[in-house]
Amino acid sequence: MSGSTINAVEFYWRPGCGFCARLDRTLENAGIPMVKHNIWEDPADAVVVRSYANGNETVPTIVIDGIGMVNPSADEVITVLSSKAPHLVPEGWEPPRPSRLDQAARRLLRD
C-alpha cells in the first residue's frame, strides 16, 4: 500500500489498555479513519504487533504503509500520515515544534 491507496491507519489494541483508549479517542476526534485489531481476538494481529515491538505485545501499535509505531502520540501518527497519506491528515494540522530541550539536545549531538 502506498500514498493515495491508504484509506485508514491500522490500529492494534487490547481491552483494558488506557493508552489504547486515549490514542483511539484522540485519532477519532481528529477524524482519522482506523481499522482496529484486537490482539486478544486474533493471534495473527498479535504476531503483527510483536514484529514491530521487539517480540512484545505492546499496544497501541499503529501501522501505516509498513511503518510500525509502538505507543505513539497522535502527533507522531499524523506526522507519518503527512508523508504516507496526506489526504488523511486533519485540515489545519501543524507538525509539533521541537521543545527547547529537544533543540538543545540536537545541538549537542551535532557538535
* Spatial separation of the C-alpha atoms in residues 21 and 65, rounded to whole Å: 23
Residues 53 and 70: beta-carbon distance below 8 Å: yes
For residue 55, report the phi and psi dihedrals to the nearest 5 degrees.
85, 0
Instruction: Give the mean pLDDT of the chain.
Output: 89
Q: In the chain, pLDDT over 70 holds for what percent of residues?
A: 88
Residue 51 CA to residue 78 CA, distance in Å, equals 22
CATH assignment of the domain containing 38: 3.40.30.10
Structural domain that includes position 65: 3-110
Question: Is 72 a residue whose pLDDT tops 80?
Answer: yes
Q: What pLDDT is recorded for position 90?
A: 85
Instruction: Report the pLDDT value the prediction gives residue 98, as an integer from 0 to 100.
Output: 66
- More confident of the two residues 88 and 102: 88
Percent of the chain with pLDDT over 90: 73
Mean pLDDT of 23-48: 96
Total count of domains within the chain: 1
In angstroms, the CA 92 to CA 72 distance is: 21
- Region 21-25: mean pLDDT is 96
* Residue 89: DSSP 8-state: S
Instruction: Give the per-residue pLDDT at 4.
Output: 56
Can you give the pLDDT at residue 24? 96
The distance of Cα 30 from the centroid of its chain, to the nearest Å, equals 13
Cell of 55: 517480540
Judged by DSSP in three states, 59 sits in coil
pTM of structure: 0.81
Q: Phi and psi (nearest 5°) for 62?
A: -115, 135
